[in-house]
């Protein structure tokens, strides 16, 4: 894919979305970003929108939109 997305794994989740999956039986998806800098702010005191890298947020949004499009067009 032109956005660098090359791997889809069934399952996954985390404490942020597990309640949706377990309690509501909702189909969930997860974007797995490059972990080199992911935990610099993730769930830390400075985990606020002002510290989000705009370009990385846009790339993540593009990838999630492309994923939803592909699921809609071709199914799972």
The predicted structure's pLDDT at residue 72: 93
Q: Is the pLDDT of residue 64 over 80?
A: yes
State the alpha helices, DSSP H only, in 1-76: 18-24, 54-74
Tens digits of per-residue pLDDT, 3-56? 566 666 666 677 778 888 889 988 777 777 777 877 778 888 888 989 888 988
Report how far apart, in Å, the C-alpha atoms of 12 and of each of 9, 27, 28, 45 are: 8, 11, 9, 25
State the pTM of this model. Answer: 0.64
């Amino acid at each position: 894919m032109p956005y660098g997305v090359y791997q889809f794994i069934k399952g996954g989740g985390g404490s942020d979305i597990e309640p949706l999956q377990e309690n509501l039986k909702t189909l969930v998806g997860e974007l797995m970003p490059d972990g080199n800098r992911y935990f610099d702010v993730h769930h830390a005191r400075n985990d606020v929108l002002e510290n989000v890298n705009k370009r990385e947020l846009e790339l993540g949004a593009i990838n999630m939109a492309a994923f939803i499009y592909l699921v809609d067009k071709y199914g799972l």
